Amino acid sequence: MALVDVKNVSYVYADGHQALENVSLQIEKGERVAVLGPNGAGKSTLFQLLNGLLQATSGTVSIDGLPVEKKNLFQIRSKVGMVFQDSDDQLFNSSVRQEVAYGLMNMHITGKELEKAVDWALDVAGIAGYGSKSPNNLSGGEKKRVALASVLAMKPEVLVLDEPTAALDPHGVSNLIRLLNTINKELHITLIFASHDADMVPLLSDRVYLMDSGKILTYGTTSEVFGQKENIRKIGLRLPRVAHLTEILERDGILKTESIPLTIGQARKVFGNAATLTGGGTDTIVGRNQNTQSG
Ligand code: ADP
């Protein structure tokens, strides 16, 4: 049984706009899954169905076998932690500590247990010294960590993050990616996030669902989906920059490789491999190889 099971879901807004059409996805415990799609693809609508902020017009959504229905919402929301795109939509308490305690207090957790859970969540999110600050006075990256801490405090099984790195500076983006990967690896929390950022998605996902106009176009491992270049480009998205560079080097006859890198780390392997090959390997920098062979 999949932890997150969305089956044949459609969603029509009150004004008649169909935002989702026959969407299905299954996500197992511990996975890191990206929903990749341009603006308006239906990603936020899909995410709001996962914790019952919206109810599917048709089809079913269940978490850990529990249908997302009104009578189950308390349990569903303790399993699914939602981190909104704009932290200001999520933070409304006057101090960081109160913000992180809020959800726990709604679950009637008090006293030492409350304090311990708040301290733990602040610590995991890397904002242990921020408890007395006002969320209003924090940077975008710090606000994102407060939102994350307030959700983590409830010990969710799944973290659902809508465009988690939008509006963060490059330093904030790499810190957040590192933090989310640690949370996934060490706390075994499943990650589902929406993004249209081709460079960021491979750093945080094992699998990708590609979405456009309310439909899932394709899904698979991150490499499989980015390997479908036509599908990516036809919906107005692009490949990761290193993949595009590799494509250009191949087209120009400078490099031959069977594995298209999606991240700088993967590119270093492919390019480093090619630069040190003396021939016969799968990755070849053409000029370098000719020199090596003739020398
Ligand atoms: P994404 O998160 O991929 O940008 P959304 O789920 O926000 O996409 O939106 C999907 C589609 O639904 C868009 O065409 C959007 O205009 C429409 N939509 C979103 N919210 C509403 C709403 N409250 N009423 C009507 N249409 C909406």
- Report the separation in Å between the CA atom of 143 and the middle of ligand 1, taken as the mean of its atom positions: 25
**Interval 153-209: pLDDT, tens:** 999 999 999 999 998 899 899 999 999 999 999 999 999 999 999 999 999 999 999
Q: If you take atom 23 of ligand 1, which residue's CA is the nearest one?
A: 13
> Which pLDDT does position 9 carry in this prediction?
98
In this structure, the residues whose C-beta lies within 6 A of any atom of ligand 1 are 13, 15, 17, 19, 37, 39-45
- Report the separation in Å between the CA atom of 174 and the middle of ligand 1, taken as the mean of its atom positions: 28
- For the CA of 163, the closest atom of ligand 1 is 2
CA-derived radius of gyration, the chain: 22
pTM, full prediction: 0.91
3-state helix vs strand vs coil in the chain, percent to 5:
45, 20, 35
Torsion of CA 266, 270, 273, 277, to 10 degrees: 170
**Interval 268-283: pLDDT, tens:** 888 887 665 445 456 6
How far is 268 from 207, CA to CA, in rounded Å? 22
How far is 86 from 192, CA to CA, in rounded Å? 17
- Report the separation in Å between the CA atom of 43 and the middle of ligand 1, taken as the mean of its atom positions: 8
**Interval 31-67: pLDDT, tens:** 999 999 999 999 999 999 999 999 999 999 999 999 9
- Report the separation in Å between the CA atom of 39 and the middle of ligand 1, taken as the mean of its atom positions: 9
> Which pLDDT does position 255 carry in this prediction?
86
Mean pLDDT in residue range 252-271? 89
Q: If you take atom 5 of ligand 1, which residue's CA is the nearest one?
A: 42
* Domain 4-234 bears CATH identifier 3.40.50.300: yes
The token duo for 250 is: 């191949």
Domain ranges of the chain: 4-234, 241-294
